[in-house]
Structure 1
Amino acid sequence: MKLLDNFLEKIGHDKFDHHVLGALICALISFVVILQDGVIGWETVAYPTIGAVPVLLISVVKELMLDDKPDWMDVVWAMAGCLWVYAFVALGVWFNQLSV
């Protein structure tokens, strides 16, 4: 836990929360779209963009309307969370292609 505590102390809980929440929102929307279409191919790697757009919009609106002073690094950290979704969708497609 010391490693995690040091990491959180370095970047801050706020940035980590934005990162995790951005990844979660992006992942949930991406899962719905991927499962709805039932497409498992390399074009599926682009589907998290459908989840990343709401993350970007929500983050910008939150910073402009709900915070006293916008912190654009919060938006960056939220969008960086979406990178995990892209990476793991690509990994899933790659595993799927290996089994074919």
Structure 2
Amino acid sequence: MHSSCSECRRRKQKCSRYWPCRHCGTRRVANECTFQSVLEVKAPEERRARLDKLAAEMEGASFFSQALNEELDDGSPSTVDDLEALGYSSAHAVSSCSLEPEEQQV
């Protein structure tokens, strides 16, 4: 059995666990203040369908990731090369970094 009524769970509120709970009594929706057992919430078929859908999405993401890795490995210019072609220099960025704090001007 869930510890919160269906309305408190839906509204993400702390339930007083009485019937009607404090929130449902205040909102005058005592008829919607119901407690369900965990088994009533989702049938095994619904959970299985959701798991199958998530597995399919993961396979699609894995395929997309693999395709991107193959594209990068085929000798195409890297992101650094693309940035350097636009005028950005990775050497400039590294050489301009220092570990010593700058002196403040007064």
- TM-score normalised by the chain length of structure 1: 0.29
- TM-score normalised by the chain length of structure 2: 0.27
Larger Rg: 2
Q: Which has the higher helix share?
A: 1
